[in-house]
Amino acid sequence: MARLSIEHLRKTYGEFHAVDDFSIDIADGEFLVLLGPSGCGKTTTLRMVAGFIQPTAGRITIGERDVTNLPPWKRNCGLVFQSYALFPHMSVADNVAFGLEMRRMAPAERAPRVAEALRLVQLSGFDQRYPRQLSGGQQQRVALARALAMQPDVLLLDEPLSNLDAKLRQEVRVEIRDLQRKLGLTTIMVTHDQEEALTMADRLVVMEKGKVRQIGTQRELYEKPADRFVAGFIGRSAFLDGEIAAPGRFRSQGGLEIDCSAPALGPATLALRPERLAIGAQAESCTNRFQARVEHVSYLGALLDIDVRLTEHDRMLLQLPNRQGTVEPKPGDRITIGWAEDAGLVYPRES
Amino acid sequence: MTAARLSLGRIALNGAAMLSLGFILLPLIFVTWLAFFRQEIPSFPPEGYSLRWFSAAAGNKAFVDGFLLSLQVGVLSTLIGLMLGVPASLALVRHRIVLGPALNTFLLLPLVMPGIVLGTATYVFQIETEIATGLPVLGSAGGLVAAHTLIVIPWVVKLVTASLVGFDRTIEEAAQNLGANPWTTFWRITLPSIRPGLVAAGLFSFVTSFGNLEMSLFLVGPGRITLPIAILQYLEWKIDPAVAAASVIQIVLIGAAMIVTDRYVKLSRVV
Ligand SMILES: Nc1ncnc2c1ncn2[C@@H]1O[C@H](COP(=O)(O)OP(=O)(O)O)[C@@H](O)[C@H]1O
Ligand SMILES: [Mg+2]
């Protein structure tokens, strides 16, 4: 277990930047999640840490060791592959013992370590089975046990749950998290699943097109998204395009004048969390208050999603909790919506 | 209507299969039958049965020496073929090498080359080598093994590349992640994973080498002949069931090797 430090890591394929200037310090025992849409460079980053991809530039330090130019077999990173990558010709016990064997540990010493690793993933008694005799969930656990048995300095997980069915995924999520805490393992997990990322991480890195968009805790990412991409990717946001004509005053394309706390000038986008909008009487106290026409209502059980139109150019999304006595608006209804000045986040316009 | 036509088709198919199976097996059955005839001239019907031709074959020095030489050459050329063919297959499948597909076809060429052509070519080549180096190549066991390695390589390349194409390389990465260097990864992960292909390649190589006649004819020296040539030479002087007995022994040995191999890897799945 150790700190992990990544400095200005970069990987280019010809002109294409797969990972662009990635820097982070991960504390001992921290669970970091790399989150981003498919193809944003998460796996590439993870594989550079594991040593399977040579970085174009940058430095990776594990503990006090600069591992940037070390081959994979000298890094002591436990990587759990998306496909599990179990050795099909070896029993579960031999799979788990492989890392220890590579360190020339005596068989007598290996046995208790293998048993302990299998116990941790609740697979005691499966040691003589072969991978093909296991379910997907069990294979996943063997892959985890195999990585844990070698007591890696860092644990790397590449979409470890993506091949499991939904129910199992929920369970394994909690199990991995508990195990990681108990063992105090410095961990990087890669996922494109937002919910998974939010439930498991101590801290998250949001990536897009090879670039780090924001690093922070769940709360930081949700409350203070660094840019428009993060505002749309973490949770949901409704966006209004327009410009900041004067400090603190946003003018939408449809001509709405909106109070906000923004110094910047020029073309801008205003982002609003749908659940932070008030409706009807509750909107009375808001600084920003507008008439809107209901266009569409989605009944989602615990929530109601309401699409409204403010002007010809401006649309907005509201989310109402489905409390007892909530009056469900109908398409065509005219309603008043409002939000506090600091509920709107303003970003420079992105093309 | 359709069902009837279908079952008619089925019957025709089964019939054709039986016919070709019979066509393949008939000579084998006759040779085996013949080996047990008592009389010297192979004529029908048999005058009686005996095992004398088996002891005659086993006591024939040319047969025994030929068998031992064929065994040696078969084993050696198979081993060398594997040692050359496996790395070649790895290179062909895993690396984008210049003219890769052409090279692949080239390595398979000895398979389609007529034995006589191959024999003439290696004969000339070995003579030229002898002239150039002064070493005794032609007629030596080494020369024979070298030539047999040539006809064995196509089998190795064919079967091993087929195994490698479907091989998931992430398990090699997993091994390296767990501390295995590339050499250990190759021996502990890659080779065991393509074992069925290797076993099949070894078996086919050995059988190909063991049964080779045409090419070997050009390359053997006096007092050093392979079993197929020993049989051929015997047939030039007399025709008696001893030849059939020697063939039966070969058939049994090769059949046994295939059955034993099939217990460990399903040959039908590889070939
Ligand atoms: N060997 C390669 N050559 C060229 N482009 C690559 C290579 N490997 C990955 N890429 C590209 O780099 C980008 C990032 O890939 P990856 O890290 O796998 O994304 P993900 O975030 O989905 O894990 C993708 O657009 C991919 O097409
Ligand atoms: Mg990926």
- Using one digit for the tens of pLDDT, what is the confidence trace for B52-72? 787 877 788 888 888 999 999
Is a pLDDT exceeding 60 seen at residue B1?
Answer: no
Instruction: Give the count of domains, chain B.
Output: 1
Looking at ligand 1, which residue's alpha carbon is closest to its atom 26?
A: A39
Give which of A67, A98, A100 to mutate to test B binding, by max B Cβ within 10 Å.
A98
Of A71, A83, A102, the CB nearest to B178: A102
First vs last Cα of chain A: how many Å apart?
43
Is A85's CB within 8 Å of B173's CB? Answer: yes
**Residue B153 is part of a domain; what is its CATH number?**
1.10.3720.10
pLDDT digits (tens, 9 = 90+) for B127-162: 898 889 888 878 788 889 999 999 999 999 999 999
> Can you give the length of chain A in residues?
351
Q: What is the CB neighbour count within 10 angstroms for residue B25?
A: 11
**Banded pLDDT at A350 (limits 50, 70, 90):** confident
- Within a domain: B23: no
Is B171's CB within 8 Å of A88's CB? Answer: yes
Ligand 1 centroid to B111 CA: how many Å? 41
- Within a domain: B16: no
ipTM confidence score:
0.85
Q: Do residues B212 and B115 lie in contact, with contact meaning Cβ atoms separated by under 8 Å?
A: yes
> Can you give the length of chain B in residues?
271
Q: What is the CB neighbour count within 10 angstroms for residue A308?
A: 26
Which residues hold their Cβ within 5 A of ligand 2, which is an ion? A 43
Residue from A13, A33, A38, A159 whose mutation best tests the ligand 1 pocket (most atoms within 8 A of CB): A13
Q: Which helix (H) or strand (E) holds B72?
A: helix B61-94
Edge-to-edge, what's the strand order for the sheet holding A203-208? A65-66, A57-62, A4-13, A16-26, A211-216, A203-208, A31-35, A186-191, A154-158, A77-80
Mean pLDDT of chain A: 92
Nearest-angstrom CA–CA distance, A64 and A2:
9
Ligand 1 centroid to A190 CA: how many Å? 14
pLDDT digits (tens, 9 = 90+) for A72-104: 999 999 999 999 999 999 999 999 999 999 999
Nearest-angstrom CA–CA distance, B158 and B152:
10
Nearest-angstrom CA–CA distance, B90 and A288:
68
Nearest-angstrom CA–CA distance, B6 and A345:
72
Chain centre to alpha carbon of residue B37 = 29
Of B170, B176, B184, the CB nearest to A83: B170
* % of chain A surpassing 90 pLDDT: 72
Contacts with A89 from chain B: Cβ below 8 Å: 192-193, 195
Nearest-angstrom CA–CA distance, B231 and B241:
11
Nearest-angstrom CA–CA distance, A254 and A272:
17
Q: Do residues A102 and A75 lie in contact, with contact meaning Cβ atoms separated by under 8 Å?
A: no
Ligand 2 centroid to A41 CA: how many Å? 7
Chain A residue with Cα closest to B183 = A73
Of A50, A81, A150, the CB nearest to B179: A150
Contacts with A49 from chain B: Cβ below 8 Å: none
Structural domain including B102 reads 58-270
Q: What's chain B's Rg over C-alpha atoms?
A: 23
- Within a domain: B1: no
pLDDT for B271 equals: 57
- Within a domain: B32: no
Q: Which helix (H) or strand (E) holds A229?
A: helix A228-233
Q: What's chain A's Rg over C-alpha atoms?
A: 25
Q: Do residues A87 and A130 lie in contact, with contact meaning Cβ atoms separated by under 8 Å?
A: no
**A282: distance to nearest CA of chain B, Å?**
57
- Going by C-alpha positions, the residue among A93, A94, A96 that lies closest to residue A78 is A96
- Going by C-alpha positions, the residue among B199, B219, B201 that lies closest to residue B263 is B199
Ligand 2 centroid to B194 CA: how many Å? 27
Q: Do residues A332 and A320 lie in contact, with contact meaning Cβ atoms separated by under 8 Å?
A: no
Contacts with B189 from chain A: Cβ below 8 Å: 87
Phi–psi pair at A52, nearest 5 degrees: -90, -15
Ligand 2 centroid to A38 CA: how many Å? 7
* % of chain B surpassing 70 pLDDT: 95
- Within a domain: B126: yes
Q: Give the binding-site residues of ligand 1, using a 6 Å CB cut-off.
A: A 13, 16, 18, 36, 38-44
- Within a domain: B14: no
Nearest-angstrom CA–CA distance, B148 and B165:
26
Phi–psi pair at A153, nearest 5 degrees: -70, -40
Amino acid (1-letter code) at residue A99? G
pLDDT digits (tens, 9 = 90+) for A180-226: 999 999 999 999 999 999 999 999 999 999 999 999 999 999 999 99
- Cβ contacts of A182 within 8 Å, gap of 6 or more: none
- Within a domain: B67: yes
- Cβ contacts of A266 within 8 Å, gap of 6 or more: A243, A244, A348, A349
Give which of A43, A67, A73, A86 to mutate to test B binding, by max B Cβ within 10 Å.
A73
- Within a domain: B31: no
Is A102's CB within 8 Å of B177's CB? Answer: no
Is B178's CB within 8 Å of A86's CB? Answer: no
Nearest-angstrom CA–CA distance, A268 and B24:
82
Q: Tell me how many degrees the CA angle A167-A194-A19 measures, rounded to the nearest 5.
A: 130
